[in-house]
Structure 1
Amino acid sequence: SFSILIHPRETLLNENHKDYKNLILSRLARDSARVNSLNIKLKLAINNIKKSDLHPTQTELQQEDLSTPVSSGISAGSGEYFTQLGIGQPAKPFYMVLDTGSDVNWIQCKPCSDCYQQSDPIYDPTSSSTYESLTCETQQCQQLDTSACRDGKCLYQVAYGDGSFTVGEYITETVSFGGSGSLNRVAIGCGHDNEGLFVGAAGLLGLGGGSLSLTSQIKATSFSYCLVDRNSAKSSTLDINSVQPSDSVTAKLIKNQKVDTFYFMDLTGISVGGQLISIPPQVFAADGSGNGGIIIDSGTAITRLQTQAYNSLRDSFKKLTQNLRSAEGFALFDTCYDLSNLQSVRVPTVSFHFSENKVWNLPAKNYLIPVDTAGTFCFAFAPTPSSLSIIGNVQQQGTRVSIDLVNSLIGFSPNKC
């Protein structure tokens, strides 16, 4: 088993926001782009849009007919949580964005035709003895959504929903996990042209359910992660092949035949103050064509629910918080409170329900969050016009999320960072 540290974005990137309110606004803008990219990815998969139907991104590789399905991933200004991996032999450390909504691992590579600013020096293939090109007929190359051939070498491209993309050579390299061991011949993208709003991280660590994610390539039986509060300076861990904590609240993972990247789960209901709210169960289930359902995602911040479900949740919460002074809405939040003169506040519990009467109770700080330093707090859920619901990382903070790939289960263990 392997274990590596996870750091929240703000510990690595000093973005010099004017104040806390502006920091939150920039997070929420990134979040909307992220949700958009997940929805585009699902839509393309459901409609069986072939890569040849999409226009190639205008890059110097255009003559190779590289076209672009959109995958989720670092939308708008890089990810929210980073982890450090060693790449190459001798191993050099690189910060990568942790992403359960993407499969292809990649890092920026010399020589750059276009590289963005990152905190580590850019990876140089010539300084590693274990760098190997992949040929076009290899299984890994065939499994890419978008690939092309040049001089017998496999090229890859990944495009994200906000127009960011990475293009380069698909290679294998040795990947090291701090002091807990290393793996040889892991397929990663060596990105020579990386454009858009990435910034900070050297690349992306894909932990999705597709065949090219790190966990799939190494045939991991399970992995778990814990995301600390984003305003804290602490770190937590990503553990691969680890045992699920015994106090986990578990739910079934559901396969969506159209898109294997996302982790769909079996949510049966939501309660407020101990009372289940009235949401038809089919709201959280994918239909026969792959539409709908609810996924867990490390890269989305705020949980998105279908409008009907969101309205029921919000109305139930408001009914039980009439004693609190309300405040104006903020960005995508329509339910906010002025808690400026209060030392402590009692709010109704919000819980997710799964089959077999399993219940995951959220701590209050995971659904009532500060949006400025003046005491304004908002209810941290939002509606989505699409049919896809997403459990985001604000709701996951402080909880160890364990994915059991053998038994198709997802577990939630509070306070296990």
Structure 2
Amino acid sequence: MVKSKLSFMFLAIFIFLFSSVLSRTIEKIPKTSVLDVSASIQKTLEIISFNPNSVQPLESQQKITTSPSLALKLYSRETLYKSPFKNYRDLTLSRLQHDSARVNFLNQKVNLATKENEKSLGLMAMNIETPITSGLNQGSLQYFVRFGIGTPPKQFYTAIDTGSTITWIQCAPCRECYKQTDPLFDPATSSYKPLPCASQQCQELQISACSSSNNCLYGVEYGDNSTTVGDFITETLTLDNSVFNNIAMGCGRNNTGLFVGAAGILGLGLSSLAFPSQINNPSFSYCLVDIDSTTSSTLEFGLIATSNDAITTPLIRNSKRPTKYYVGLTGISVGGQMLPISPSVFAISPSGSGGVLVDSGTIVTRFTPEVYNILRDEFVNATQGLPTAGRFGLFDTCFNLTSRTPVRVPSVAFQFGNVSLDLPAKNYMVPVDNNVFCLGFAATPVLLGSISIIGTVQQHLYYESVLMSVGP
């Protein structure tokens, strides 16, 4: 395993594991990749017609036993909730709208990094494993886990978020709450303990205030204007039969926005308040199923064994945004040829802007307009004989692949130093409407800065694991 020692005594590795050896030197990058059009279209049809009630209840499914570490199942949203959309076109447009809001949120967070944070409420090692699911129609966060909160534990679905440092859940009585699948959490029947304003956990909040009884209040405002405000407390969390006491988390009393469906958020960011740090197990990995998949994958905490097929690259620490996961992307190739892009374009500036984030809540990978335009133009130039289909939502490069399967398209690969991460065609040719497929990248809005984000479309399918490892 390649490791890089970073500032503040952090070690961080971002790892892609494959079912076969896909790491290549730059000189051996393939020119084309095969897209199975029929299989992709069939999956879109299945997800629209899928009825979650027709399968075995998720909580009674067989426990994951593939790893000795603590693991939870990850579920994509459609495995939990019946899609309200009658066709895949409307579903895709909804996803892209939510995804744009997510990107705005991340960009605003980074742009605020150079400003001093105000602590005011402006809105009002053991090993463990758990399953992951995808969360599609309830906002920009796409993957859910289920675990127990309180004593005795009540089970709730929460969205995982590598961009958030605070874990929170909606609580009763709730003055303003969005719709969720599970009943509201009732602290009156649990081991709920308010944190005092003088507590260390309260002092570490970015936005906080004191109640009339001198208890800590928290607040989080997301870039899409979604908000959560409430009591900052300690509770008992139960994951995979492992019990964790005194976990600091939010008990949301006023919650609005795009979180419908999930009971809250499991914060996986880089912070002492984030869940991995609180359980003294800062290394975690996740395997993301295809967003249209009806199966589950895993979110795992603990030491993860890598294989000889792994591609590794150090996580990069941004001193201005220390809670985010950055990677050292150095270039992109299309059709086997490196694009004329300087590695400095992907670097973090002294002010904290720029850089390349890895995010579990963003679907579509974003690059700066300069990078995206070069990638798109080269892809179009290398694409022969495929009829174009105009634009679709934020996608501006689409093709009509009616009666074409399989199709050979130009290869796309990410470069991390001297190794190449070759993307399968289905990780960048995205079905959007019937037989229309679009190039699955987009430009970061010009007004929002120079950040790039590697989204989940490029993280799922062939990947067995993405490991975030941070420790002393």
Indicate whether the TM-score tops 0.5: yes
Query: What does 1:86-105 align with in structure 2 at a 5 Å threshold?
Result: 86-105=148-167
Tell me, yes or no, if structure 1 residue 241 matches structure 2 residue 302: yes
1:26-37 counterparts in 2 under 5 A?
26-37=94-105
Q: SS at 2:91's partner residue?
A: helix
Question: Once the 2 structures are TM-superposed, how far is the Cα of residue 244 of structure 1 from its aligned partner?
Answer: 4.0
Matched, 1:362 2:423: yes
Alpha-carbon distance in structure 2 between the residues aligned to 1:11 and 1:75: 11
Counterpart of 1:82 in structure 2 is: 144
Task: Specify the code of the residue in structure 1 equivalent to 2:248.
Answer: A
> Contact conserved, 1:33 with 1:75, CA < 8 A, in 2?
no
Structure 2 alignment gaps of length 5 or more: 1-68, 125-135
Would you say 1:136 and 2:197 are equivalent positions?
yes
Residues in 2 aligned to 1:22 and 1:16: alpha-carbon distance in whole angstroms: 10
**Which letter does structure 2 place at the counterpart of 1:186?**
I
Of the three residues 404, 409, 413, the one matched with 2:469 is 404
Equivalent residue number for residue 113 of structure 1: 175
Per-residue deviation at 1:153? 0.9
| Cα 1:78–1:12 shift into 2, 3 Å | farther
Shift of 1:182: 2.0
Q: Given residue 56 of structure 1, which amino acid in structure 2 is its aligned partner?
A: G
Query: In the alignment, is residue 41 of structure 1 matched against residue 109 of structure 2?
Result: yes
Q: 1:270 is matched with which residue?
A: 332
Structure 1 residues 49 and 140: CA distance shift in structure 2, 3 A: closer
Q: Report deviation, 1:132.
A: 1.4
C-alpha displacement of 1:312: 1.2
Distance in 1 between residues matched to 2:137 and 2:79, nearest whole Å: 19
| 1:23 maps onto 2:88 in alignment | no
State the shift of 1:268 in Å: 0.9
> Aligned to 2:291, which of 207, 230, 248?
230
| Structure 1 residue 380 corresponds to structure 2 residue 445 | no
2:230 equivalent to 1:168: yes
CA apart distance, 1:76 = 7.6
Q: Report deviation, 1:326.
A: 1.2
- 8 Å contact from structure 1 (residues 303, 394) kept in 2: yes
Match of 2:455 among 392, 409, 412: 392
8 Å CA contact 1:98–1:204 kept in 2: the answer is yes
Say if 1:174 and 1:186, in contact at 8 Å, map to a contact too.
yes
Q: Take 1:46 and 1:274, find their aligned partners in 2: how far apart are those partners?
A: 38
Deviations 1:269-291 (A, max 9, x none): 11112211111111100111101
- What's the CA shift string for 1:351-386, capped at 9, x where partnerless? 11112x12211111010011012x100000001122
Residue 267 of structure 1: SS of its match in structure 2?
Answer: coil
Secondary structure at the residue paired with 1:371? strand
Q: Aligned pair 1:197/2:262, yes or no?
A: no
Question: Aligned ranges for residues 196-215 of structure 1 at < 5 Å?
Answer: 196-215=257-276
| Displacement after TM superposition at 1:51 (Å) | 4.7
Distance in 2 (CA, whole Å) between partners of 1:280 and 1:364 is 25
The answer on whether the counterparts of 1:75 and 1:197 sit within 8 Å (CA) in structure 2 is no
**Higher RCO (CA < 8 A, seq sep 6+):** 2
CA shift, 1:322, in A, is: 2.3
Query: Which of 214, 217, 240 does residue 178 from structure 1 map onto?
Result: 240
CA deviation vs aligned residue, 1:384-413 (integer Å, no higher than 9, x gap): 122000000111112221112138xxxxxx
Alpha-carbon contact 1:78-1:199 (below 8 Å) kept: no
1:81-106 alpha-carbon deviations (Å, 9 max, x no partner): 11111111111110000100111100
Which of these residues, 316, 322, 328, is aligned with residue 254 of structure 1? 316
Following superposition of structure 1 onto structure 2, how do residues 68-79 of structure 1 map, counting pairs within 5 Å? 77=139, 79=141
1:196 counterpart letter in structure 2:
G
Match of 1:56 in 2: 122
2:371 corresponds to: 309
| Equivalent position amino acid for 1:199 in 2 | V
What's the counterpart of residue 220 of structure 1?
281
What SS is found at the alignment partner of 1:261? coil
| CA 1:216–1:100: 2 relative to 1, 3 Å | same
Report the Cα distance in structure 2 between the residues aligned to 1:152 and 1:49, rounded to whole angstroms: 22
Q: Does 1:281 align with 2:343?
A: yes
Cα displacement (A) at 1:325: 1.3
- Give the TM-score normalised by structure 2: 0.79
TM (norm. structure 1) is 0.89
1:304-335 CA-partner distances (Å, limit 9, x unpaired): 00111111111121111122111111111111
What is the CA–CA distance in structure 2 between the aligned matches of 1:4 and 1:177, rounded to whole Å? 7
What is the aligned partner in structure 2 of residue 12 from structure 1? 80
Q: 1:75 to 1:293 in 2, by over 3 A?
A: farther
CA distance in 2, matches of 1:244, 1:350: 28
Give the Cα–Cα distance (whole angstroms) in 2 for the partners of residues 401 and 144 of structure 1. 28
Distance 2:365 2:240 in 1: 32
| Secondary structure in structure 1 of the residue aligned to 2:89 | helix
Q: Secondary structure at the match of 2:408?
A: coil
Give distance in 1, aligned partners of 2:280 and 2:367: 32
Q: Which runs of 4+ in 1 moved over 4 A?
A: none
> Could you say what secondary structure the match of 1:41 adopts?
helix
Equivalent residue for 1:318, pick from 374, 380, 386: 380
Gaps of 5+ in 1: 60-73, 408-417
2:433 alignment partner, SS class: coil
Q: Equivalents in 2 of 1:37, 1:221: separation in Å? A: 24
Say if 2:234 and 2:248, in contact at 8 Å, map to a contact too: yes
Partner of 1:338: 400
Give the match for residue 65 of structure 1: none
How far apart, in 2, do the equivalents of 1:197 and 1:220 lie?
29
Amino acid of the residue matched to residue 456 of structure 2? N
Q: Residue 156 in 1 paired to residue 221 in 2?
A: no
